[in-house]
Amino acid sequence: MAPIQWKLPETLQSLHDYWRAKRIGAALPPSGTIAVAELPQLAADLMLLEPIAAGDDFRYRVMGEAVIQATGIDCTGRRMREVLKPGPYLDYLLGLNREVLHEKRPLYSESSFRAERLSNRWTCRLILPLAGEGEAVGMIMAAQVFGGLSPSTPAPPFSESAEFEEGVRVLLD
């Protein structure tokens, strides 16, 4: 079986390059070195998530306008478990963030995304760890872009949807 062929979308590649430049010889860039103002072309796609209880949950600290518009909800200040109903999609998203938290490496993933305004679409996300105290991951920076067109077939809002399909999932450097 041939390996899956994939490539980071240009927007996410520029974020990955930014993250790598901020490492400055360290394994992870300190969260204090990240400035959303330095990423004006990505600000609308960005999210900052704070791990809670060693990754049992994650609090959205920042949620970009494009993500808010696509999902139909501003999750800023809220925990993932508050926003998403228990089930496969919540487990999937928590699993992605936990993998980044524990592996201390960036992760790229693709999946279907069911939302009122984005029914039957795919989303690509890049999830990047940021250093906190000591060697722990103190914050996660993520960018999410959406693709595909099927606005004529509405689907449940993402916060209520249990249906999705996982695509590529790759740990990076």
pLDDT of 16 > 50? The answer is yes
Lowest mean pLDDT among 55-69, 122-136, 137-151: 137-151
Token representation of residue 49: 């998530």
Q: What is the pLDDT of residue 17?
A: 95
- Specify the DSSP element, H or E, that contains 66: helix 65-71
Q: What is the pLDDT of residue 148?
A: 62
- Looking at per-residue pLDDT, the higher value among 89 and 106 belongs to 106
Spatial separation of the C-alpha atoms in residues 160 and 85, rounded to whole Å:
6
Contact predicate 113/121, CB 8 Å:
yes
Cα separations (Å) of 117 from 43, 89, 130, 151?
Answer: 21, 18, 31, 6
Contact predicate 163/86, CB 8 Å:
no
The β-bridge partners of 62 are: 48
Q: Residue 118's pLDDT band (boundaries 50, 70, 90)? A: very low
Mean pLDDT for the stretch of residues 69-75: 84
pLDDT of 36 > 80? The answer is yes
Q: What is the pLDDT of residue 142?
A: 97
pTM greater than 0.85 (yes/no): yes
Spatial separation of the C-alpha atoms in residues 142 and 16, rounded to whole Å:
10
Q: Bin 75: left if φ > 0, else alpha if -120 < ψ < 50, else beta.
A: alpha
Mean pLDDT for the stretch of residues 166-170: 86
Residue 65 has, within 13 A of its CA and on its CB side, a CA count of: 6
